[in-house]
Every structure is written in structure tokens, then in C-alpha cells.
Amino acid sequence: MQLRYVVTGVLVAVSLSGCQRTSSDPYTNLPGPAPLQAQPVPQVQSNQLPPPGAAGSSQFPAAPAGNTQMASLPPGGGEAPATALDVTKESMVGNWRVNNAGSSCDMFLTLTNLGGGSRGGTRGCVGELTAMGSWEVSGKTVQFKNRSGDVIGRVYKSGETRFDGTTNSGQAISLSR
């Protein structure tokens, strides 16, 4: 009877010895990356900067002269002006900084369907934009809608990352990134 236990013990020990790892880290035998070669450093130059406000020291271009008012959509609807740029729904997706009624806030636009448009919302806005729930592109105009699906404002693309328009009450809206 004891021989049976001894044989069973030996068989268990032999079968378990095949399950042991020979290394704790399978990556220890991999070669390391080659050392980087030193690169030459170009000569550093130094010059004195002009004092702030000196002629030609501004990093921004001069403001255009003359009338700088922007066109806006008429309250309650209307077409985008002839100068409006083409807009795609995909280019609108993401976060926008909104200037409305003298204050600024954030607008978030997604491609998630919501009723007759796509889901959108605002944070920190005032007036009609606080009720924004969705948006959609109609021609060269982007329409913002409340949670009931009524249009509350419209903008058109006036620059590469800028949109201008109005709310239904006539407040100017501008979006920028």
C-alpha cells in the first residue's frame, strides 16, 4: 500500500515539474536598443529684442482700417450672406468658444442623432443658448435648436475657424476655436 503512495507522489512531482517556469521574465533575453549617436549642435545666435511697443515689434498684424462690422443673419431666419463659406457637419463637431450678448461660454457639438438634428449643448451661456439641445447644417447655415426642436439661432462660416450669426431675438453670436 505504501508503494502505491510513493508511486503516486513521484508521478505528481514529475507532472508538476513540467509546469515550472525557467525564467521569471520572458523579455530578459531580448537585446536592448542600440545607443544613440551624438548629433552636432548648431551655433546659437543672440540679438537684442526691441522694447515692447516699439514699431515692428508686435507679433500680431495691424487691425484693418475702415468698417470692421461683420454681417449677421436676420433674426428669426434668412439665408447666409454670399460671402459665407461652405460648411460640413463633420467640421463642426467638437468644442467651440461662443461670444453671445457680451459674454463668452462653451458649446459642444456631436454627431449623435437627436430628433431632427445632432446632439449639442452649451455651458455657461446666457439667453436662448442655455436651452440648446441639438444642431444641424442647412446649406451654408448651422442651426441651433432647443430641446423641443425649435430653431433658436443660426450662424454661417465666416472664416476657417469662425462662425457668425444671430439668435432668434437678434443677439449676435460668434463661434471660434
Q: Give me the mean pLDDT over the 133-161 stretch.
A: 93
Does the pLDDT at position 146 exceed 60?
yes
Number of domains into which the chain is organized: 1
Cell numbers standing for residue 89 = 457637419
| Residue 176, pLDDT score | 95
Tell whether 73 is covered by a domain. no
Q: Give me the mean pLDDT over the 164-175 stretch.
A: 92
Domain encompassing residue 121: 89-176
Residue 9 neighbours by CB under 8 Å, 6+ apart: none
Q: Give me the mean pLDDT over the 17-30 stretch.
A: 59
Q: Give me the mean pLDDT over the 115-128 stretch.
A: 89
Cβ atoms of 98 and 108 closer than 8 Å: no
Cell numbers standing for residue 9 = 507522489
Tell whether 16 is covered by a domain. no
Tell whether 128 is covered by a domain. yes
Tell whether 158 is covered by a domain. yes
Tell whether 60 is covered by a domain. no
Who wins on pLDDT, 114 or 59?
A: 114
Tell whether 172 is covered by a domain. yes
Q: Give me the mean pLDDT over the 17-42 stretch.
A: 67
Q: How does DSSP assign 102-130, residue by residue?
A: TEEEEEEEEEEEETTEEEEEEES--GGGG
Assign 25 a pLDDT band (cuts: 50, 70, 90).
Answer: low
Tell whether 160 is covered by a domain. yes
Cβ atoms of 107 and 129 closer than 8 Å: yes
Tell whether 57 is covered by a domain. no
Q: Is 63 exposed, middle or buried (0-12, 13-18, 19+ CB in 10 A)?
A: exposed
| Residue corresponding to grid cell 431675438 | 169
CATH value at residue 104: 2.40.128.10
Q: Give me the mean pLDDT over the 94-104 stretch.
A: 91
pTM: 0.56
Does the pLDDT at position 128 exceed 70?
yes
Q: How many of the other CB atoms lie within 10 Å of CB of 172?
A: 16
| Residue 131, pLDDT score | 93
- Per the DSSP assignment, residues forming a β-bridge with 142 are 137, 155
Residue 49 neighbours by CB under 8 Å, 6+ apart: 57
Which segments within 131-171 are labelled E, that is strand? 132-138, 141-146, 151-159, 162-167
pLDDT tens digit sequence for 43-85: 777 777 777 766 555 555 555 554 444 444 444 456 788 888 9
